[in-house]
Homo-oligomer: A and B are copies of this chain.
Amino acid sequence: MRLADLSERSGVSTATIKYYLREGLLPPGRQVNATTAEYDEGHLRRLRLVRALIQVGRVPVATAREVLGHVDDESLGRTIRLGAALWALPQEPEPDEEDPAVVAARREVDALLERLGWETARELAPLSPVHRSLVVAVATLIRLGYPWDAELLSPYAELMHQVAVRDLDFMETYASEEEKVETAVAAAVLFEPVLKALHRLAQEEESARRYGIV
């Protein structure tokens, strides 16, 4: 398809597509003559992923380029290719390790991972910004006087694990490795607002069932 068709099908303006091409976020089309290039379904998929990262995930252009570099690097294992995207999303800043709430939170998160038997998460802990985000979130709870511990967190973690199992099952329905990784990365970004809204809606529904609506 031509640039205009790619724009039409993706809902992204031709000016923005040209910008992504210049920035290396989208591979060049196949040049058919001096002024025209031809794009394919792979370009359309890639464009959707770029939109997901930049527009919804609020990832800066340079970071998006880095994520796509990992997605495209077939020498890497799938976990790293997927993880590269998760790790590139906006994360919590480094916590203050002197803060007693952070110390307590780190202890509870460690206890949680041990209790769950999440061996990889324990192994990756010193490196993983995802692990750090959890410590920061739990530290905020503790600091504000809600002393959530490993025992309270554990059933929530089990439920989120069931969510993650579904995420990856869904990813595996795609045929090619490239589509699998692209879908997983896009889903990681796009699905968070859906889960948050489902959670709030479920709270509303459950509250109404228990206590009525008036």
Contacts and interface: CB of A to CB of B under 8 A. Distances in A.
Given A146-B187, A159-B159, A190-B146, A168 B206 contact: yes
Given A141-B190, A145-B48, A170-B152, A128 B204 contact: yes
Interface string A188-206: 1011111111111111111
A80 interface: yes
Given A130-B204, A145-B48, A152-B170, A140 B199 contact: no
A212 B137 contact: no
Contacts of A193: 92, 133, 136-137, 140
A153 interface: yes
A198 B118 CA distance: 12
A199 B133 CA distance: 11
Contacts of A28: none
A83 B204 contact: yes
B156 A166 contact: yes
A150 interface: no
A202 B163 contact: yes
A203 to B, nearest CB: 4
A86 interface: yes
A207 B82 contact: yes
A167 interface: yes
B205 A118 contact: yes
Interface string A153-181: 10111011111111110100000000000
